[in-house]
Structure 1
Amino acid sequence: MTDKKYTTPTAHTSAWIAQTWISFTVSIAATGIGIIYMPVNTWMKGYLGMGTLFSIGSTISLSKTIRDVEESKRVISRLDEAKVEKMLAEYDPYNKVV
């Protein structure tokens, strides 16, 4: 009836998961070390550190929100398709009620 193909998301490999965590850890450590050794006063370092933490938190929230929206679209599409399939399965063209 429809050309849409629903596939389940593929699982990430352990190598990909490790690479993501290592990348995240190295980037945060490098930013932190850069802020610590920056030749500015403590207030400026604190400001940059808080900005970094807020940026990380916002990025995590944004990525979770985008994922949730996409998952909800998938669920709604599947529910709509199931309703149509049920209606088609129950429809009997030879049983006409006039």
Structure 2
Amino acid sequence: MTSDAKSPSSPTTGAFFAQAALSFALSLTAVTVGIAVLPVDPWIRAFLGVGALYTITSAFTLAKVIRDRQEDASVYSRIDRARVEKLLAEHDPFRAPGV
């Protein structure tokens, strides 16, 4: 393999991660407080809470599936690149045909 076939590095910075975590925490807090102070019956509040939790877990699952697919595509790309490099390294244009 060539020297550029390193393990993929994380393209996100610490600041971006912190911003995303704070944004998630703030939005979760806002939705929780909003559901808690909503002037409705407790069963409606519970239904909205379960719906919010379902939405959050679905978003995490979708993000994981997208990340896994991207990593798989990266691995397949590196394998294909290695195969081509091997074929090119073994190829001798000056060798007589059939030898």
Q: Please, what TM-score do these two structures have when normalized by structure 2? A: 0.85
Aligned residue pairs, count: 94
2-structure distance, mates of 1:32, 1:91: 64
Which residue identity does 2:84 align to in structure 1?
A: V
Which residue identity does 2:14 align to in structure 1?
A: S
Q: How does 1:56-71 map to 2 (within 5 A)?
A: 56-71=56-71
Partner of 1:82: 82
Which residue identity does 1:88 align to in structure 2?
A: L
1-structure distance, mates of 2:81, 2:15: 36
Structure 2 residue 80 is matched with structure 1 residue 95 = no
**Cα deviations across residues 49-95 of structure 1 (Å, max 9, x unaligned)?**
00000100000000110111011111101111110110110111222
2-structure distance, mates of 1:14, 1:73: 25
2-structure distance, mates of 1:34, 1:20: 21
Partner of 2:46: 46
In the alignment, structure 1 segments of 5+ residues that lack a partner are 1-5
SS at match of 1:72: helix
2-structure distance, mates of 1:65, 1:15: 24
Partner of 2:33: 33
Q: Please, what TM-score do these two structures have when normalized by structure 1? A: 0.85
**Whose RCO is larger (CA < 8 A, sep 6+)?**
2
In the alignment, structure 2 segments of 5+ residues that lack a partner are none
